[in-house]
C-alpha cells in the first residue's frame, strides 16, 4: 500500500532531500522516512502543504498538471486588489511562458496562521491584503508571477490544500500520514 505524507514545509526549506552544497535546510532536516519523494515542489520562499509518497504513479497523479488537481493558496499581497485584478486572475492571464488557466480568486480576511520566520516586511505606507487563489496548474513560481502580473506582488505564500488534503492541524515543520 502506498504511503502518503502531508508535510507543512517551513519558509526557507528546499523541497528536496539533498543539499546542493548551499547549506540551506532540506526535507531531510524534518522527515526521516526512507523511500519517499515529493509529489511536486514548493519554492524555498513558499510555505505550506507538500505531499510526499513512495508510489511513483501516485506521485505523477498529484504533480502532473494533466490531472488538474486543484491547489489552494493563501496569498498575502502588496496593495489592495480590486475587482479588475481578481477578475483577471479568474479569467486567466498571459505570462512569459503562455496563458494560465482560469483560477478561482477572492479576497479573504487575514488567515489565522503561524508567524513566519523571518517575518514579512511591513511598510506603513503600503497596505497589504490576503487572497485565496485556487489553480490547477503548477508552473514554476506561478502564483507569484500571477499576482505580480496584476500589480500585487506576493509577500507571503502558503499552500493550504492539494485536492482534498489540507494543512489543517499540521504545524510548520511537522508531518503526518494521510
Q: Which domains does the chain have, with CATH numbers?
A: 4-65+164-177 (3.30.70.580), 70-162 (3.30.70.1560)
pLDDT in tens, 59-101: 888 877 777 789 999 999 999 999 999 999 999 999 999 999 9
Percent of the chain past pLDDT 70, that is, above it, reads 100
Q: Which residue has the cell 502518503?
A: 4
Catalytic residue list contains 83: no
Residue 151: Cβ-neighbour burial (10 angstroms; 0-12, 13-18, 19+): middle
Single out the catalytic residue among 19, 20, 32, 43.
43
pTM over 0.85: yes
Please name which of 20, 123, 120, 40 lies closest in space to residue 74, comparing C-alpha atoms: 120
Amino acid at each position: 500500500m502506498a504511503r502518503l505524507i502531508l508535510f507543512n514545509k517551513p519558509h526557507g526549506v528546499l523541497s528536496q532531500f539533498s543539499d546542493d552544497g548551499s547549506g540551506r535546510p532540506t526535507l531531510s532536516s524534518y522527515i526521516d522516512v526512507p523511500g519517499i519523494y515529493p509529489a511536486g515542489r514548493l519554492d524555498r520562499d513558499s510555505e505550506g502543504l507538500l505531499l510526499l509518497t513512495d508510489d511513483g504513479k501516485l506521485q505523477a497523479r498529484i504533480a502532473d498538471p494533466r490531472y488538474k488537481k486543484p491547489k489552494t493558496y493563501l496569498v498575502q499581497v502588496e496593495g489592495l486588489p480590486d475587482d479588475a485584478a481578481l477578475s483577471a486572475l479568474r479569467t486567466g492571464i498571459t505570462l512569459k511562458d503562455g496563458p494560465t488557466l482560469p483560477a478561482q480568486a477572492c479576497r479573504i480576511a487575514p488567515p489565522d496562521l503561524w508567524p513566519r520566520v523571518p517575518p514579512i516586511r511591513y511598510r506603513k505606507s503600503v497596505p497589504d491584503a490576503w487572497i485565496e487563489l485556487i489553480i490547477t496548474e503548477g508552473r514554476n513560481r506561478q502564483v507569484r508571477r500571477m499576482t505580480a502580473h496584476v500589480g500585487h506582488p506576493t509577500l507571503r505564500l502558503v499552500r493550504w490544500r492539494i485536492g482534498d488534503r489540507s494543512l489543517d492541524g499540521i504545524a510548520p515543520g511537522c508531518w503526518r500520514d494521510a
